[in-house]
Amino acid sequence: MTDPIHQFQIHKLFSIAKIGSAEIAFTNSALYMIIAVTVICAFLIGSTRGRALVPGRLQSVSEMLYEFVADMIRGATGPDGMQFFPLVFSLFAFILVANTMGLIPYGFTVTSHLIITVALALLVFLTVIIAGFWKHGLHFLKLFVPSGIPIYILPLVSAIEVMSFLTRPLSHSVRLFANMLAGHITLKVFAGFVTMLGAAGILGVVGATVPMALTIALTALELLVAVLQAYVFAILTCIYLNDALHPGH
């Protein structure tokens, strides 16, 4: 039970279909994703149902959430980036709720699995490429040719630009995954110290208060990391979308 990796196990709840030897199963990961989406939808629909001119408490929260994401997009991409508001808002809300839900004891963190974060990062990456070519055609490739660079080092700079563009989904996804994974493992390792010391007798129980206090402090830190990583993911999405909208440097 003290295995810190145990919490990340995906297990099957029930089977949906079978294609050849591959099985499509409803897992605890899928359950938590559905819970996250349900929580977001229920909160946003429920809090804005009144459509009061002077918002109440809950409506203020959802309006603040809207304004926060809208300011982020306007700041990073300019006013024409607002057409991507639904994408950025969905990503931000989903990651925020999934991250914070994972902090509940015995919970499961959806975003601590690379497959989920890669799917989200590839969604952003492909959106940037498709929207860039859709809006600008081949002028989108100007992204890789910064202006004002002497012609003899331009090939080198372009190669670096292409490389940095292609590594974006990698760093975008692994950042969220690694932060969630490392934080939860640290938390469980410290929680393991509490049980190990607590089993060692009366002196151990006194000693166990130190890792217990550290666990509580780490939980607060993890809450900060959970919110910060959702923000980082969303602002990087905005910055990448800015490249699709304004490819010239």
Partner 1 sequence: MDPIAAKYIGAGIACIGMGGAGVGVGTIFGHYLAAAVRNPSAADGQFPRLIFGFAVTEALAIFSLLIALLLLYAV
Which residues make up the interface to partner 1 (CB under 8 A)?
72, 75-76, 167, 170-171, 174-175, 178, 231-232, 235-236, 239
The nearest distance, CB 111 to partner 1, in angstroms, is 15
The nearest distance, CB 225 to partner 1, in angstroms, is 12
Report the residue number, 33 or 73, with the smaller CB distance to partner 1: 73
The nearest distance, CB 212 to partner 1, in angstroms, is 28
Structural contact between residues 218 and 91, judged by C-beta atoms closer than 8 angstroms: no
Report the residue number, 133 or 231, with the smaller CB distance to partner 1: 231
The nearest distance, CB 197 to partner 1, in angstroms, is 28
3-state secondary structure at position 105: coil
Report the residue number, 76 or 226, with the smaller CB distance to partner 1: 76
Closest CA to 88 of 225, 227, 238, 230: 238
Report the residue number, 66 or 231, with the smaller CB distance to partner 1: 231
Closest CA to 248 of 174, 144, 162: 144
